[in-house]
Amino acid sequence: MGSENLFHKRKAKSAKNLQRKGARRAAYKKILIVCEGEKTEPNYFEGAREYYELNTVNVEVRGDCGSDPMSIVSFAKQRYREEKDAGDPFDQIYCVFDKDGHATYARAIDALTSATPKDTYFTISSVPSFEYWLLLHFVYSTRPYTALPGNSSGNQVLTELKNYISDYEKGRRTIFSELIEQLEQAKNYAKRALQESERNQTDNPSTRVHELVEVLQNLKD
């Protein structure tokens, strides 16, 4: 029974790979989204891709590259080389990661800023964590988060978010569609918070997730 299940799983995976290889690229840009973690951010952006009915050949979402910011940058560059060698490089690449607890955060941003070809790689960062972006769907806040013993800044945002989504868990598959009614508010709040952080010469808190959301919203235009 076990070997039979394994056979069916392999067959299904092979069929899926063949379907992807046989799919045709649409006329709009081809982009890559490389995310920290294997569930939360990839699920969010897969949900956005599905909601806006974007072709999987045009929008590739990956989360199988580790959580360290520099590992995300390395993976993104590798995928760019692979697709370039295949004759169909990505037009734009977005690297999604948090600052919370990552020693290579600043180095990753520098690496993306200096990456070539120019105007291809973009940083989609959140400080302290991706959940700050989700929190902005409900409330505008620029209160800075400071790590405490046994309570990281990211965990503090998570606790605050649960005041609005009591059953929220990382990796929630449908979180994009669940919050679609508040999306425009979140975008406006994120822009305001980013402007405020730049005026105060700090990044805590801030997020650039709205920039990638707008890319997906306008990709077919």
Query: Which CATH number do you get for residue 84?
Result: 3.40.50
183-220 pLDDT, tens digit each: 999 999 999 999 999 999 999 999 999 999 999 999 99
Q: Is there a domain that residue 15 lies in?
A: no
Q: Element (H or E) spanning 105, and its range?
A: helix 105-113
CB 129 within 8 A of CB 91: no
Q: Is there a domain that residue 126 lies in?
A: yes
Q: Is there a domain that residue 9 lies in?
A: no
User: What is the average per-residue pLDDT within 121-128?
Assistant: 98
Q: Is there a domain that residue 200 lies in?
A: yes
Cβ burial 65-85 (10 Å sphere, 16+ → b, else e): beebbbbbbbbbbebbeebee
Q: Is there a domain that residue 64 lies in?
A: yes
pTM, two decimal places: 0.89
To the nearest whole number, what is the mean pLDDT of the chain? 91
Judged by DSSP in three states, 157 sits in helix
Quote the pLDDT of residue 158.
Answer: 96
Band (128; pLDDT cuts 50, 70, 90): very high
Looking up tokens 């955060």 gives 105
Strands (DSSP E) found in the chain: 31-35, 59-62, 92-98, 121-127, 206-207
Q: Is there a domain that residue 7 lies in?
A: no
The whole domain housing 195 covers: 27-218
Structural domain count of the chain: 1
Q: Is there a domain that residue 8 lies in?
A: no
Q: Is there a domain that residue 84 lies in?
A: yes
Looking up tokens 């799983």 gives 9
Quote the pLDDT of residue 24.
Answer: 85
